Amino acid sequence: KIAVCWFRRDLRLHDQAALYYALKSGYRVLPLFIFDREILDKLSDPRDLRVTFIHREIRRLREELASLGSSIRVEYGAPVDVWKKLLHEYDIAEVYTNHDYEPAAVDRDDAVGKFLNANRKAFYTFKDQCIFEKKEVLSQSGTPYTVFTPYSRAWKATLTDFYTRSYPTETYFDAFFQTPPLPLISLEEMGFEDTPAFAFPERSWSSERIRHYAETRDFPGMEGTTRLSVHLRFGTISIRDLVRDALAYNATYLNELIWRDFYFQILHHFPHVGKGLSFRPEYDRIRWRNKEAEFEAWCDGRTGYPLVDAGMRELNATGYMHNRVRMVTASFLAKHLLVDWRWGEAYFAKKLLDYDLAANNGGWQWAAGSGCDAAPYFRVFNPALQAQKFDPHRRYIRKWVPEADAFGYPPPVVEHAFARERAIQTYQAALKA
Ligand code: FAD
């Protein structure tokens, strides 16, 4: 009999909750990764860099496991079908995996859990990708927090060393199932193309960067943030390791990691936000203009607002956009252009390497004003002022929009003062109705 550890957004052997408990179970542990056909079929770009990223990281895991005399079973298909096949092939006693809070993942895990239990296999699941989940941080009255500041206060008050301690998986590495390397399906076999030259952000971080985070993080022209988001997204690094560094070096940085937990618990308690609805239902009455041509100009970085265009071009070229600029571009789409924020949310979902339903939806609803802890609707970012303040030497703009100061750069797609007034009136009309 063996135990299986099913990897999903936790692609590492170090400090991984489900893996730790599997290795301690007394059974030999076979790691498993499923390229989920139901997810991959929805991706329209055969060069989708997230698939490349996962594939590279699986290859790395496979090498690490080979040095331990083990390997990872990699499957391509619908999860329940894969499990049917595996139950025929191996004598499986128990299955271990980590929680995923996205509605589709919750449904998938319910279905797999039911299937395994019906076949008398235990299915154990664990918290791994955040410090606090679900109901671990609630208000005095036992309800979920919907405003960040009191949430973060309660988060910090609940924190003890226990929550940031690493799971010492390494102690139990001799419990891996021993096998020669198992086959690894290629990207091409799944209908994708490899992009071997693409350089993803590094998997390591310097404490120096975290130490100076508060002074540098708002300037997109500097390397002032950690660029770890894709690694946090796929769990190639441990949140506990990172939180310990944040606690040691920088309170502002810790706050950003708390935002991440905040949005996970919002999605858990208010799953409607992940199903296309505003957190505040009255915002679903807004009469969006939804002009296709303006949306396309925004997507391509042709709005005539250099900071907005720089952000969109950075996103299109690299799969990344600086946080300050995510806020400005999102606000611009929803408020200046009055395009339904869900269009922008979907565009980011397609392009961002670090795309995460909870954080992306949280960010978009914040910018559109419809979210749980949103900027008030009458506060409309001025993209030119934002550029002056946060890109004072135009380093970021010059990098992505070199023609911004030259003849031929398009005039603004809409004038700021006019757009601001129009947004406020449109929002007011919806909220009064
Ligand atoms: P750092 O500044 O170094 O922060 C460290 C880590 O903290 C990040 O890697 C991230 O995991 C987390 N974090 C930071 N800010 C936030 C936040 N506001 N919400 C949640 N987590 C945060 N982040 C995503 O990970 N995925 C998304 O799909 C996503 N979409 C966004 C959409 C919009 C409209 C906005 C305004 C923000 C979005 N963010 C998203 C949050 C934030 O912009 C990115 O996490 C950050 O820019 C990633 O860069 P970094 O790793 O250098 O971050």
Cα 168 → chain centroid: 26
Q: Do residues 132 and 163 touch, judged by C-beta distance below 8 A?
A: yes
Does ligand 1 come within 6 angstroms of the Cβ of 302?
no
Paired with 150 in beta bridges are: none
pLDDT of residue 374: 81
pLDDT at 192: 98
Catalytic residue among 64, 136, 205, 288: 288
Q: Report pLDDT for 262.
A: 98
Mean pLDDT, the chain, integer: 97
Q: How confident is the model at residue 311 (pLDDT cuts 50, 70, 90)?
A: very high
* Residue ranges of E strands in 247-347: none
Residues 239-260 have pLDDT tens digits of 999 999 999 999 999 999 999 9
User: Does pLDDT of 373 surpass 90?
Assistant: no
User: Residue 132: what pLDDT?
Assistant: 98
Per-residue pLDDT tens over the stretch 329-346:
999 999 999 999 999 999
Other CB atoms within 10 Å distance of the CB of residue 399: 14
- Distance (Å) from CA 81 to ligand 1 centroid: 34
pLDDT band at residue 44 under the 50/70/90 scheme: very high
What b/e string do you get for 63-79 counting C-beta neighbours within 10 Å, with b at 16 or more?
Answer: eebeeeebbbbbbeebb
Q: What is the mean pLDDT of residues 81-89?
A: 98
Reported confidence tier of residue 224, pLDDT bands at 50, 70, 90: very high
CA 96/CA 94 separation, integer angstroms: 7
As a whole-number percent, the residues of the chain with pLDDT over 90 amount to 98
Give the other-Cβ count within 10 Å of 385's Cβ: 11
Q: Is 409 annotated in some ligand binding site? A: no
Candidate list 6, 83, 259, 400, residue with the active-site label: 259
Which residues are CB-neighbours of 427 under 8 A, at least 6 positions away? 286, 369, 377, 378
Residues 174-202, mean pLDDT to the nearest whole number: 97
198 known ligand binder = no
Closest to 362 in 3D by CA, of 345, 346, 376 = 345
Average pLDDT over residues 11-26: 98
**CA distance to 183, 184, 384, 393, per residue, from 325 (Å):** 42, 38, 12, 16
Position 433 scores a pLDDT of 76
Closest ligand 1 atom to 352 CA: 28
Q: How far is the CA of 229 from the centre of ligand 1 (A)?
A: 6
- Annotated active-site residue 400? The verdict is no
| Residue 223, number of CB atoms within 10 A of its CB | 10
* H or E stretch at 4: strand 2-7
Residues 403 and 398: their CA atoms lie apart, in Å, by: 8
User: Measuring CA to CA, how many Å separate 136 from each of 127, 158, 292, 322, 356?
Assistant: 11, 9, 43, 30, 21
Q: With a 6 A CB cut-off, is 363 part of the ligand 1 pocket?
A: yes
pLDDT tens, residue by residue, 263-310: 999 999 999 999 999 999 999 999 999 999 999 999 999 999 999 999
The predicted model gives 409-429 an average pLDDT of 97
pLDDT of 67 higher than 90: yes
CA-to-CA distance for 97 and 22, rounded, in angstroms?
9
**How does DSSP classify residue 181?**
P
227 lines ligand 1 (CB under 6 A): yes
Ligand 1: does its nearest atom lie under 6 Å from the Cβ of 356?
yes
Ligand 1 pocket residue status of 367, Cβ below 6 Å: yes
CA of 225 to the centre of ligand 1 (A): 10
pLDDT tens by residue, 118-155: 999 999 999 999 999 999 999 999 999 999 999 999 99
Report which residue type is found at 419: A
Would the pLDDT of 69 be above 90? Answer: yes
Whether pTM exceeds 0.80:
yes
57 a known binding residue? no
Q: How confident is the model at residue 375 (pLDDT cuts 50, 70, 90)?
A: confident
For the question of residue 364 being annotated catalytic, the response is yes
- Ranges of beta strands (E only) in 9-90 are 28-36, 73-77
Q: Which domains does the chain have, with CATH numbers?
A: 1-128 (3.40.50.620), 130-166+206-269 (1.25.40.80), 274-432 (1.10.579.10)
Q: Whose CA is nearest to atom 44 of ligand 1?
A: 323
The C-alpha angle 311, 265, 348, rounded to 5 degrees, equals 20
C-alpha torsion 22→187→70→99, nearest 10: -10
Name 356's Cβ contacts closer than 8 Å, sequence gap at least 6: 233
Closest CA to 195 of 313, 51, 60, 312: 51
326 pocket-lining for ligand 1 (C-beta < 6 Å): yes
Cα–Cα distance, 393 to 63 (Å, whole number) = 45
> Which pLDDT band holds residue 222 (cuts at 50, 70, 90)?
very high
Amino acid at 407: F
